[in-house]
A and B are shown apart, each in its own frame.
Chain A
Amino acid sequence: MSNESDRAAIYEHRDAYNGTLREGDLEGWLATLSDDCVFLPPAMPAVKGKDAVRQWAKESFFDPFDSELEYDFEELEFSGSSAFGWGWYRHTLTPKDGSEVVQLRGKFLDIFRREDDDQWILARVSFSTDHE
């Protein structure tokens, strides 16, 4: 694959990641991640492996909130079948119980991996929240 098509594929991945989150499709969202994925969220220990990520995401985002996530890359670099990127995100969390909407924004640092079927998946994610 060329750099251009790899880049396009990463942006398609972003659309799938955001779309499944917005639709509340937990399993669809998990399909955008590697089985050994690791999340490094703010103010908590690392979340390691898809099963742990499933439980964390279900309890933290999918069950209590409707989510709207926007993010974009400031940098995206490819090396063989891997890539890294960092950028900013805005995450709007609307509680399903009708309480006040939560707006988060911050930065992320992602590691992507290209699978044998040429699909890009997210393997490592660190993200932080901005203090304003």
Chain B
Amino acid sequence: MSASRTISSPQAVGGTGDRILRYTLGERVNHWIAGLSYIYLLITGLAFWSPYMFWLAILVGGGPTARFWHPWIGLLFAASVLWMCKIWRRDMVVTEADRAWQRAIIHYIRNEDEDLPPIGRFNYGQKLFFWLMFYGVILLALSGLVLWFTESIPWSLRWLRYLAIAVHVIVALATIGGFIIHVYMGTAMVRGGFNSIIRGEVPAAWAKMHHRLWYNQVAGESPIKK
């Protein structure tokens, strides 16, 4: 982090032109390992899911190549989500403030943000998405291991194969739902969000508007925790 891109003194915080560090470099790298590996898993997974999308496998080197890498990239994705859990777990606990925000979520959907109660570093929706991905990746990894080594499952335990197929499909679809909303919100809907996960910084006004409690907390700290 160069000093010019972060706030220099606590006094400076509060002006609308100031920039606040929202995601450290480590957090950003972690997020993009998870994001890019998920996109690979989505492309190859959809290819295996439907014959109408099998052409997607051609984009990433053909069916056998996709089949070879899908589980390995899956492990990478799982590792990145577990690491994410380690660094964000405390920030992702659903609080009383989130409950109040959740009850007013219709205002968030309708872009009436001034009618929303203040919340911390992450909002209820982000927390929901995080926990969906966290529990999702555990189920996907466990069922994925069975699918990876299908031939090693003895015939007497074949119910494991059936269970793994069902779990893998249902959980993958659930994460795809979350992923569609996450990408839409991070790129098109919440302006400034995409840049924050690329460069790490947000304008103070942005922090004030979207995450008032977090803003109050970091604005009072000196220097800003990275």
Are A and B interaction partners? Answer: no
The residues of B with any CB-CB pair to A shorter than 8 Å are none
The residues of A with any CB-CB pair to B shorter than 8 Å are none
